[in-house]
Amino acid sequence: AADYRALNPQQLVPLLVDEANGGARISQSLAILEYLEEVFPVPALLPDDPVRRAQVRALAMHIACEIHPLNNLRVLQYLSAELGVDDEAKNLWYQHWVGQGLAAVEAGLECFDGRLSLNDRPGYLEACLVPQVYNARRFACDLAAYPRILEIVARCETLPAFQQAAPEVQPDAQ
């Protein structure tokens, strides 16, 4: 809609409008997470240890830059509407790229030894991972090969913050 385009020329979600800071508008998930980490450092979204911080950021960037753009609804709609790709082929395309991406994340999670990125609580990484698993499930991806991912997501899905952020409870979800 025109009113949203005026707020965010990218016309994408999410968009954070921080009224406390003069109505500052921040788009893109990772930029929003970085902003929140800087403006509201407690509770932290990133680990204190620089190596662990880098590992979290690397996995989050892999999700945000390698997996998410290919499964964004506008990309999938373009495949169908503009290129004439049928639903079966589109879903196979989606499953291929999500599978490759999640396999890399699964391997990268080995260094966390079954813990969340902030040991006992989720943070930056999980905020990126949970929505991608939601999408993968929506498109019937076989996730059996990703036990670390599934364990992390299952733990997050029991938490009120993730339950309240789920797409199906958003009034404008489509």
Whichever domain contains 29, its CATH number is 3.40.30.10
24 and 63, same domain (yes or no): no
* 29's tokens: 């998930």
User: Which residues form the domain of 65?
Assistant: 50-168
Nearest to 78 by CA among 88, 90, 67, 68: 90
58 and 35, same domain (yes or no): no
98 and 126, same domain (yes or no): yes
- Interior/surface letters 97-127, b for 16+ CB within 10 angstroms, e for the rest: bbbebbeebbebbeebeeebbbeeebbbbbb
Helix axes 124-138, 147-157, angle to 10 degrees: 100
- For residue 159, give the CATH number of its domain: 1.20.1050.10
Q: Is 84 left (phi over 0), alpha (psi -120 to 50) or beta?
A: left
Whether 69 shows a pLDDT value over 90: the answer reads no
27 lies in some domain: yes
Encode pLDDT of 142-173 as tens digits.
Answer: 999 999 999 999 999 999 999 999 988 888 76
82 and 121, same domain (yes or no): yes
Total domains, the chain: 2
Element (H, E) at 24: strand 24-27
Q: Are 111 and 55 in contact (CB under 8 A)?
A: yes
Encode pLDDT of 94-120 as tens digits.
Answer: 999 999 999 999 999 999 988 999 999
Element (H, E) at 26: strand 24-27
Encode pLDDT of 117-140 as tens digits.
Answer: 999 999 999 999 999 999 999 999
Whether 21 shows a pLDDT value over 90: the answer reads yes
At 90, the amino acid letter reads: K
**Reported confidence tier of residue 73, pLDDT bands at 50, 70, 90:** confident
